[in-house]
Amino acid sequence: MSEQQSGDARSAARPEFHPRKNGAYQSVSEELSAWMRTGWADTERRDLDPCEQAPYAAKRRAVLSARFPGERLIIPSGRLKTRSNDTEYPFRAACDYVYLTGDTSEGGVLVLEPRAGHGHEALAYLTPRSSRSNGEFWLSGHGELWSGRRDSLEEAAQLLSVHTRDVRELSDWLRQAPRIPTRVVRGHDAGVEAVLAELREDAETAAQADAQLAVTLHDQRLIKDEWEIGQLREAVAATVRGFHDVVRALPEAVATSERYVEGTFFRRARVDGNDVGYGTIAAAGPNATTLHWQRNDGPIRPGELLLLDAGVETSTLYTADVTRTLPISGRFTADQRRVYELVYAAQEAGIAAVAPGNPVRAYHEASQRVLAEGLVEWGLLEGPVERVLELGLQRRYTLHGTGHMLGLDVHDCAEARTDNYRDGYLAAGMALTVEPGLYFQPDDLTVPEELRGIGVRIEDDVVVTPEGNIVLSADLPRTADDVERWMAELLP
Ligand code: GLY
Ligand code: MN
Ligand code: MN
């Protein structure tokens, strides 16, 4: 259905509201217009409790506030993006905004305004409810009649425990507000950035200041609070259910394509969460050797492997990131098992190296060593192993790093300082993946023929604890034997 279909072109009336995005007017009679203004119940919700995340978001804002005394900090949620013509991509709020507010609505902007004494006041500029008195409610494509009821500003203030204002006043407010050092998280709201470009004189200094804000936020997000860990647990639990769904659906998938696997997992993501946290990789047979295989349009053949890399994103936008490589018929062949067990051994070594105080790189190096040793033993690489590792020769078959931080983004905290992340040390509260793999391209003549076209990755989500680590996805079978047992239970 398009907006235009609701207009009554035969009405004798004059245009009452602004043109639509595509320039077509919608005409309404005065009688209809007057009638649409009246007869609506008061649905305002009063005395709402703050959302569960509100006290955690307040603490996160306090930590950020202490880093930038006296400065105005602007963190937008983002805007809808056009997909084609008048259709838009599903909205997904920007992570830093969600982290600092707990809000996931579109078009919001958090302003942390420095207080006279110390600290900051949090002002959430939000899209208010649609007015029923000027046609906005039912004639505008973004009116509530079309896109659903929003929280009123008063409701949002109670739910988020912050002051709220109408986002349509933000540009004027920024222009009139005292000129003080201001930073914005870029890339989400071109309108806000344009206003700031008018107000900030030195573009280069502004760019540096903004980059510093982004880095600081990603540094801060490296350590998850207990509420975030709880959300990751929920994301992983839903993901585990999604993998069960996929195994049960394998017979139908064999009759159709990888899309059936993708769709089966997606249903779980939509029912138990918000969405998938990234494009599902449902890669059967040799497609598993393509790291970001997301076309998912290949066949599922008995006897081959299915590499499924998928994660449910919770309604609060935390995501899991889990991979299992499954024998489609339920049993590994000897060659598949050989590859699988080497990857499993590498993952075990990686997980064992996840502990507070260890270099972040340690678990990658532990996994790579096991893989390199195996590849030398199999004669694919010429030893000694130290030489292989020094030259990185194993990477022809291991291809990618052994993991990354996990949280609101699947590749979380990507802008954190190198010293705190890639060259840093693990600390309790970090959440990350451990995901070694081996990939033998179908046309790789350096590989024995029987291994060509085999791709295996095993990926689990791990939280660093004061004692060591917890594997959040431990409920999903991991050894070759356990995978076969699990599949035998679920397959008809
Ligand atoms: N699913 C993307 C990754 O494993 O990093
Ligand atoms: Mn991953
Ligand atoms: Mn993954």
Give 62-74 pLDDT, tens digit per residue.
Answer: 999 999 999 999 9
Q: What distance in angstroms lies between residue 290's CA and the mean position of ligand 3's atoms?
A: 13
Q: Which of 221, 236, 269 marks a domain boundary? A: 221
Count of domains observed in the chain: 2
Give whole-number Cα distances, 7 to 1, 20, 60, in Å.
12, 11, 47
User: In the prediction, which pLDDT does 463 show?
Assistant: 98
Residues 131 and 254 occupy one common structural domain: no
30 part of a folded domain: no
Question: Are residue 205 and residue 328 in the same domain, yes or no?
Answer: no
CA of 202 to the centre of ligand 3 (A): 41
Is 285 a domain residue? Answer: yes
Amino acid, res. 85: N
pTM tops 0.85, yes or no: yes
Is 150 in the same domain as 202?
yes
Residue 445 and residue 99: Cα distance in Å, rounded? 48
Identify the bridge partners of residue 125 per DSSP, sorted by sequence position.
Answer: 109, 165
151 touches 164 (CB < 8 A): no
Does 482 lie in the same domain as 465? yes
| Domain final residue, candidates 173, 189, 221 | 221
Averaged pLDDT of the chain: 94
Within a domain: residue 363? yes
55-58 LR contacts (CB < 8 Å, sep 24+):
55/161, 56/102, 56/225, 56/227, 56/228, 57/99, 57/100, 57/101, 57/102, 57/160, 57/161, 58/122, 58/161
6/340: higher pLDDT: 340
Residues in contact with ligand 1 (CB, 6 Å cut-off): 278, 309, 321, 404, 410, 435, 459
* Whether residue 476 is found in the same domain as residue 342: yes
Tell me the CATH number at 205: 3.40.350.10
Is position 92 within any domain? yes
Residue 459 lies in a domain: yes
Q: Which atom of ligand 1 approaches the CA of 459 most closely?
A: 4
42 in a structural domain? no
What pLDDT is recorded for position 11?
Answer: 35
Residue 165: predicted pLDDT: 98
| Residue of 399, 404, 460 best suited for mutating to test ligand 1, as the one with most atoms within 8 Å of CB | 404
- pLDDT tens-digit profile of 454-467? 999 999 999 999 99
**What's the pLDDT score for residue 279?**
98
Q: Are residues 167 and 59 in the same domain?
A: yes
Alpha helices (runs of H) in 161-202, residue ranges in sequence order: 170-176, 190-199
pLDDT of 176: 97
Q: Give the span between the Cα atoms of 128 and 108, in whole angstroms.
A: 10
Check pLDDT > 70 for residue 22: no
Q: Per-residue pLDDT tens for 99-138?
A: 999 999 999 999 999 998 899 999 999 999 999 998 899 9
Q: Is the pLDDT of residue 492 over 90?
A: no
In a domain, 4, yes or no: no
Q: Is residue 15 part of a domain?
A: no
Residue 194 CA to ligand 1 centre (angstroms) = 34
Give CA–CA dist 368/371, Å, rounded.
5
Residue range 168-225, pLDDT digits in tens = 999 999 999 999 999 999 999 999 999 999 999 899 999 999 999 999 999 999 999 9
pLDDT over 60 at 257, yes or no: yes
Ligand 2: centre distance to CA 400 (Å): 10
Cα 283 from Cα 281, distance rounded (Å): 6
User: What is the predicted pLDDT for the residue at 4?
Assistant: 41
The reply to whether 117 and 211 lie within a common domain is yes
Tell me: do 258 and 404 sit in the same domain.
yes
The answer, yes or no, to whether residue 16 has pLDDT greater than 90, is no
Same domain, 140 and 278: no
Best mutation site among 276, 323, 325 for ligand 1, i.e. most ligand atoms within 8 A of its Cβ?
A: 323
- Nearest atom within ligand 1 for CA of residue 323: 4
Strands of 286-430 (E only): list them. 305-310, 312-313, 322-327
If asked whether residues 128 and 257 sit together in one domain, one would say no
Assess whether 278 and 396 both reside in one domain.
Answer: yes
Residue in 239, 262, 278, 293 to alter for ligand 1 test, most ligand atoms within 8 A of Cβ? 278
**Are 381 and 458 part of one and the same domain?**
yes
What would the pLDDT profile of 434-451 be if each residue is shown by its tens digit? 999 999 999 999 999 999
Ligand 2 (ion): residues with CB under 5 Å are 321, 433
Is a pLDDT exceeding 90 seen at residue 251? Answer: yes
- Of 357, 335, 329, nearest to 469 (Cα)? 357
pLDDT > 90 fraction of the chain, expressed in percent and rounded: 91
DSSP structural state of residue 4: G
Identify each DSSP E strand in 185-270 by its residue range: none
Q: Is the pLDDT score of 276 beyond 90?
A: yes
Q: Is 179 helix (H, G, I), strand (E, B) or coil?
A: coil
Of all atoms in ligand 1, which is nearest to the CA of residue 278?
1
pLDDT value of position 26? 62
Residue 209 structural domain: 54-221
- pLDDT higher than threshold 80 for residue 46: yes
Domain CATH for 403: 3.90.230.10
How remote is the CA of residue 390 from the centroid of ligand 3, in Å? 26
Which of 291, 324, 435 is the pocket-test mutation for ligand 1 (most atoms within 8 Å of CB)? 435
Which of 221, 255, 277 marks a domain boundary?
A: 221
Give the pLDDT score at 24.
Answer: 44
Q: What is the pLDDT of residues 417-426, one digit of tens each?
A: 999 999 999 9
